[in-house]
Amino acid sequence: MSVHLASAWCVLAVDHRADWIGWSGAVGLSTLVLTFAPAYTLTKLEYKRFSAEVSIKDERISLMQEVTQAISMIKEMALERYWFDRISTVRDREFDRLVQARLIRALSTLL
């Protein structure tokens, strides 16, 4: 069987399948087919952002534990500004990741 004949049989099968499931079913099936790729891409992107969000949150928590364990030494050595800058940097990165995650979730709900 040639390639052209096989593609003609596929076209006929799809045409008759639309008669078999009805036009509303064909529209529903085509909607699923058309939205699958963007939904899959957004889900992968959301998972990647989530894993980055968790890693930054872990970094912030470990940093805060380090600060609370060494608070007296930080006070004695007058390193408050250094630690404040360090914590602020991590918090800013965490906030940026949270905003990105919320945008991706908003796009997912629109789809």
Closest CA to 56 of 5, 48, 85, 105: 48
Residue pLDDT, tens place only, 18-64 = 567 777 777 777 888 888 888 888 888 888 888 888 888 898 899 88
Q: Which domain range does residue 51 map to?
A: 3-110
What span, in angstroms and rounded, lies between the C-alpha atoms of 78 and 11? 77
Closest CA to 79 of 65, 63, 67: 67
DSSP state letter for 2: -
SS (H, E, C) 20-32: HHHHHHHHHHHHH
Instruction: Specify the pTM.
Output: 0.54
- Tally the domains of the chain: 1
Residue pLDDT, tens place only, 59-90 = 889 988 988 888 888 777 878 888 889 889 98
